[in-house]
Chain A
Amino acid sequence: MAGAPATVASLRTALDARAVSARELVERALARAAALEPRLHAFVSMRPEAALREADEADAHLRAGGPRSALDGIPVAIKDNIAQAGEPCGCASRILEGYVSPFDATAVARLRAAGAIVVGRTNMDEFAMGSSTEHSTHGPTRNPWDPARSPGGSSGGSAAAVAAGVVPLAFGSDTGGSIRQPAAFAGVTGAKPTYGRVSRYGLVAFASSLDQIGPLARTAEDCALALDVVSGHDPRDSTSLPEPPTRCREALDGRAAGLVLGLPREYLAADGGDPAVLRAVEEAARELEKAGASLREVSLPHTRYAVATYYLVATAEASSNLARFDGVRYGRRASGARTLTELYERSRSEGFGAEVKRRILLGTYVLSAGYYDAYYRKAQQVRALLRRDFEAAFEGCDALLTPTAPEVAFALGERTADPLRMYLSDVYTVSANLAGVPALSVPCGLAHGLPVGLQLVGRARDDGTPLRLADAFQRRTGFHLLQPELCA
């Protein structure tokens, strides 16, 4: 593949100029997936016939009256925990083997109405519980930059599919960093919107107060185009924000002038991670300063408690949410159980993988009698303190700049035996979920030959400012255009 990688915006121009058809784009995506999947394993299922049929419909629309949206005729991929009618929705779990969704998630319904074409479903950690896409019943996804390494997780399949140029846009979910950390590890741009910006209807629940659907793409502009399609209130999700979302694409003017960027000292401490990652992030801060932003140091004093707080809140909610998988109404049922209790226990024990069981047990423990106040209630109090940290910091700045992860992509197998070490790769991402604020990751260089992610965090409800800064950064730099050798 020669030249710059395709973006949603560049494909839009080509489609509108009739330089390419939606059918050709879908055919290319399917061919590229067929060529790369044996090495990457980014997808768990493809829908070639339906995608080609929808491409023909998109081409007919484009000929008849112009595009229905910026995404009309654009091939996209969605994570295996976001429901699409008539397609499997397995969450990379044995307990949902063979399950076919009877309905569309609201985000998928909006994508389809906008003319986007779902070509396939991407691999993930089981029920989005993981930071490496290794906890999948289908086996791991590999990082296009180095197939011996993890693409991050849990939306590792979506990140790999975009990084490898199979699709220009994919959707993932982010509960504690599951869009941003894989975006960082795979060298793509990934955005977690404000909590409530995108409806969670049809997103299989992991931790309901933290989960958000969001885009992974080559550029911040493409993420903005995608968010403008999927955002907005949904009567089926009472936690979705009631007000009409601001148009993210319109916020991108290439300028950072007048914006104050906060540099949280707790995220940029010299002992906080790989020094090469820190150097790339500090360079990026200087680049944004050249673009007109002013920098100031800020403090988020409760940051060191974020991972502990997150793993209490998230597992408590998960233990409750995953109670629905009981072998009775849908999904996998153990055979030969003689009582209902045995049916529950055996279906769940056979259906869930080790990491999911670990989190259900931890969540059950912290909610159980005698431990609730010490763990769950305490965590909800610290969560309030973390949110106050952000509110205080945002009194003096418009966005925060941090590393997305303390490291570059780690080797497959390196962390699976040590759950706590795996959890600590989320150290810079979980706070945004706990506070509900929007955060994204953009590529800001290479360290050890692997992509480094820069995280930009905004005020609650202000999804536009981080995207605007990321776009200004990308107009001045070429890190988002770097491609792994595998994809050359």
Chain B
Amino acid sequence: MSRIGRAEVERIGRLARLRLDASEADALARDLDAILGYVDQLAALDTAGVAAASTVVPIATPLRADEPARSDAREPVLARAPDREGDAFLVPPVLEGEEEG
């Protein structure tokens, strides 16, 4: 039984902001189905009562001195934008359909 099909891949694609054509979605569905089949072996392992790992190597949260400092990164950052207007990143209309109205 297949765990994941084309429609599900397209749905996840929308969540991930990836646009997939039909043949790409079909191929990805096959790959993801095989991978999910493999990871399903975890379901057989009893983990009741096991606290999920949240840190890797336990350390106390380090604090640094509260000293103001300048970063002066505005121009180098904006200079790397694909499109800008003054001190702002330029993008197409945020609301769908706005370009018509």
Within 8 A of B (CB), among A410-435: 419-420, 423, 434-435
Indicate whether A352 sits within 8 Å of B32 (C-beta atoms), given known contacts A102-B76, A209-B56, A384-B52. Answer: no
Whether A357 lies near B17 (C-beta < 8 A) is no
Whether A381 lies near B12 (C-beta < 8 A) is no
**Does chain A have a CB within 8 A of B42?**
yes
Residues of A close to B20: CB separation below 8 A: 349, 357
**Does chain B have a CB within 8 A of A192?**
no
**Does chain B have a CB within 8 A of A51?**
no
A352 to B38 CA separation, bound complex (whole angstroms): 25
Whether B42 lies near A305 (C-beta < 8 A) is yes
**Does chain A have a CB within 8 A of B34?**
yes
Whether A361 lies near B80 (C-beta < 8 A) is no
A338 to B61 CA separation, bound complex (whole angstroms): 44
Residues of B close to A196: CB separation below 8 A: 56-57, 59
**Does chain A have a CB within 8 A of B87?**
no
Residues of B close to A304: CB separation below 8 A: 41
Per-residue contact bits, chain B 39-50, to A (CB 8 Å; 1 contact, 0 not): 101110101001
A252 to B21 CA separation, bound complex (whole angstroms): 56
Q: Report which of A238, A241, A364, A375 forms a contact with B16, defined as CB distance below 8 A.
A: A364
Whether B16 lies near A329 (C-beta < 8 A) is no
Say which size band chain B's interface belongs to.
35 or more
A339 to B81 CA separation, bound complex (whole angstroms): 17
The residue on B at minimum CB distance from A386 is B53
**Does chain B have a CB within 8 A of A343?**
yes
A435 to B57 CA separation, bound complex (whole angstroms): 8
A360 to B32 CA separation, bound complex (whole angstroms): 11
Per-residue contact bits, chain A 136-177, to B (CB 8 Å; 1 contact, 0 not): 000000000000000000000000000000000000000000
Whether B73 lies near A102 (C-beta < 8 A) is yes
**Does chain B have a CB within 8 A of A333?**
yes
Q: Is chain B's binding surface mostly helix, strand, loop or mixed?
A: loop
**Does chain B have a CB within 8 A of A344?**
yes
Whether A420 lies near B83 (C-beta < 8 A) is no
A385 to B52 CA separation, bound complex (whole angstroms): 9
Within 8 A of B (CB), among A284-310: 302, 304-305, 307-309
Per-residue contact bits, chain A 367-382, to B (CB 8 Å; 1 contact, 0 not): 0100000110111111
Within 8 A of A (CB), among B9-31: 9, 12-13, 15-20, 24, 28, 31
Whether A329 lies near B77 (C-beta < 8 A) is yes
The residue on B at minimum CB distance from A85 is B76
Whether A345 lies near B17 (C-beta < 8 A) is yes
Residues of B close to A235: CB separation below 8 A: 62, 64
**Does chain A have a CB within 8 A of B68?**
no
Per-residue contact bits, chain A 307-348, to B (CB 8 Å; 1 contact, 0 not): 111011000000100010011111111000111111111101
Whether A381 lies near B47 (C-beta < 8 A) is yes
A142 to B79 CA separation, bound complex (whole angstroms): 36
The residue on A at minimum CB distance from B40 is A308
Residues of B close to A341: CB separation below 8 A: 17, 96
From residue B85, how far is it (CB to closest CB) to chain A in Å?
A: 13
Whether B12 lies near A368 (C-beta < 8 A) is yes
The residue on A at minimum CB distance from B32 is A362
Within 8 A of B (CB), among A390-442: 419-420, 423, 434-436
Indicate whether A328 sits within 8 Å of B82 (C-beta atoms), given known contacts A360-B18, A377-B52, A382-B42. Answer: yes
Whether B51 lies near A381 (C-beta < 8 A) is yes
Q: Which 4 A-B pairs rank lowest in CB-CB distance, beginning with the nearest?
A: A380-B52, A333-B82, A436-B56, A102-B76
> What 11 new A-B contacts, CB under 8 Å, besides A102-B80, A339-B93, A375-B39?
A196-B59, A238-B61, A305-B41, A305-B42, A307-B38, A328-B81, A365-B8, A374-B43, A378-B42, A383-B53, A384-B52
**Can you list 6 A-B contacts (CB < 8 A)?**
A102-B77, A327-B82, A338-B93, A345-B18, A360-B16, A362-B32
